[in-house]
Amino acid sequence: MEHILSILIFFPAFAALIGFLVKDDSIRIYGIVVTAIEFVLSLLLWSNFDSTVAGMQFLETIPMISAYGINYIVGIDGISLFLVIMTTFMTMISIIGLSEKRNLKHLLITVLFLEMTMVGVFLALDAIIFYLFWELSLVPMLYIIGAWGGNLRIYAAIKFFLYTFIGSLIMLVGMLYLGYVYFQTTGNWSFSLQDWNMMILPFDMQFWLFIAFFCGFAIKVPMFPFHTWLPYAHGQAPTIGSVLLAAVLLKMGTYGFVRFSLPLFPDASVYFIIPMAILALIAIVYTAMVAYAQEDMKQVIAYSSVSHMGVIILGIFALNVEGIGGSIFLMISHGIVSGALFMLVGVIYDRRHTKMIKDFGGLALVMPKFATIFAIMLMASIGLPLTIGFVGEFLSLLGFFKVSPVLTVIAGLTIILGAVYMLVMYKKSFFGPLTNEANKTLEDVKGKELVALIPLVALVVILGVYPKPILDPINRSVSQLVEVMQIKAVNPSTKAKILEYNTTAGGAK
């Protein structure tokens, strides 16, 4: 277990290089085997993870550019553990259910390189190493959208790349400045998050650095008004691209807020609570209404993702254990549910080569298994109790209720609006008479599709009923995060607010 984190990061990339030597007719099996091994390794990591410890575990440090404090540092805690497991799981599931046949070898090799970058982002504890993985993740996704996407794939790929790349460059400026500040303070260069967490920064510096990091994270989430790249990316990406984009890549932005913005800039985080909440509320309500107006099934789910990510942002900026812990759980649940929904749209697209809602109707009559699985995922998406979607959504809103009951009530509209546009889409697509002749001979889900979808259904139900094994390690690390924020806050009112948010109604003591 000494180097388990490095193995988790680089094994997919090593396997991708070996993949060039694999015969084309064996590449699918090879991809499934590689991602299954990676998933088993992540489960092995969980089995050896000490859930009673709040701090970083399995730390590895390798000097790289020591003169400037740039080192390869990786570690894991309760916040990142399950994001890594979700990444390896969803990558494996997406390849199992893959139906793409064009240039399959290059697609699978690209996905394996993408998996390396995604795992690296969640494990990196050096800002420069984090940034390298963060930026490298753009390249495989750019290629996936641009090479295997729809008619507007080049426009969608370039828009995705430019938006996220420009935001990341602004974030890089903030990282370099923080390294310089550490040098000015201590006489040594360091980009280690553990070292940065020891620094106490004046509010003015926190303010501008928060904005710099916000630019990188908010575009990746994406938050309103930076969300316009996402519908194009989802709409044009192949199914596996949409699954991984929704399940993992969006979570890199919200994870960045938790890992960087909150502990490094506690005073600025408190200062920006209401502006962040307003942006999140606009995303929740506005994109939910836009989703209702869509005629493309994939676009409905794409705008739904923006709406749900708004709830995650609310939970993060509740600045208490319930809110932050709930938002991290919601990252995981949204990854599973949205990934499954995009996979289900891919199933029907493979059969009919259309995603337009008007082209369907009465699908439940000819595809009962497909209709049942879609219904379960839809209910999880709208936060039905006893499904995985309810737990994180409830805790995120509960946490923010301590900050602002009024804004939380408004945010609760996401459940109502989500139910409206999702149920309307389901009614139009699955109920009523079979009016389209092309739908009468559709084949129900079977084989590899069921193998990919049934584990997702099981997780939706099991973690909806019993989320404790995941919530406990998350909350333990979040409690430590909140303590760090309170200790590092330079403004007494910030300390008081963080304490208030975490003690009211039985919060963390």
What are the residue ranges spanned by the domains of the chain? 1-264, 272-509
Torsion of the alpha carbons at 18, 154, 282 and 278, rounded to the nearest 10: 60
Cβ neighbour number for residue 28 with a 10 Å cutoff: 19
Task: Let me know: does 376 contact 457? Beta carbons within 8 Å.
Answer: yes
Rounded distance between C-alpha atoms, residue 257 and residue 324, angstroms:
10
Rounded distance between C-alpha atoms, residue 267 and residue 305, angstroms:
29
Task: Let me know: does 98 contact 346? Beta carbons within 8 Å.
Answer: no
pLDDT in tens, the chain (509 residues): 789 999 999 999 999 999 999 888 899 999 999 999 999 999 999 999 998 888 899 999 999 998 899 999 999 999 999 999 999 999 999 999 888 888 899 999 999 999 999 999 999 999 999 999 999 999 999 999 999 888 888 999 999 999 999 999 999 999 999 999 999 999 899 999 999 998 889 999 999 999 999 999 999 988 888 888 888 888 888 989 999 998 899 999 999 999 999 999 999 999 999 999 999 999 888 888 888 888 888 889 988 888 889 999 999 999 999 999 999 999 999 999 999 999 999 999 888 888 888 888 889 999 999 999 999 999 999 889 999 999 999 999 999 998 999 999 988 877 788 888 889 999 999 998 888 888 888 888 888 899 999 999 999 999 999 999 999 999 999 999 999 999 888 888 888 888 888 875 444 43
Rounded distance between C-alpha atoms, residue 65 and residue 479, angstroms:
33
Task: Let me know: does 262 contact 486? Beta carbons within 8 Å.
Answer: no
Task: Let me know: does 18 contact 34? Beta carbons within 8 Å.
Answer: no
pLDDT at 509: 37
Cis peptide before 455 (omega within 30 of 0): no
Rounded distance between C-alpha atoms, residue 477 and residue 324, angstroms:
10
Rounded distance between C-alpha atoms, residue 337 and residue 237, angstroms:
18
Rounded distance between C-alpha atoms, residue 196 and residue 266, angstroms:
13
DSSP letter, residue 442:
P
**pTM of this structure:** 0.93
Task: Let me know: does 330 contact 392? Beta carbons within 8 Å.
Answer: yes
pLDDT at 490: 87
Rounded distance between C-alpha atoms, residue 318 and residue 399, angstroms:
5
The neighbouring-strand residues paired with 71 are 63
Tokens describing residue 288: 């939910």
pLDDT at 500: 84
pLDDT at 504: 55
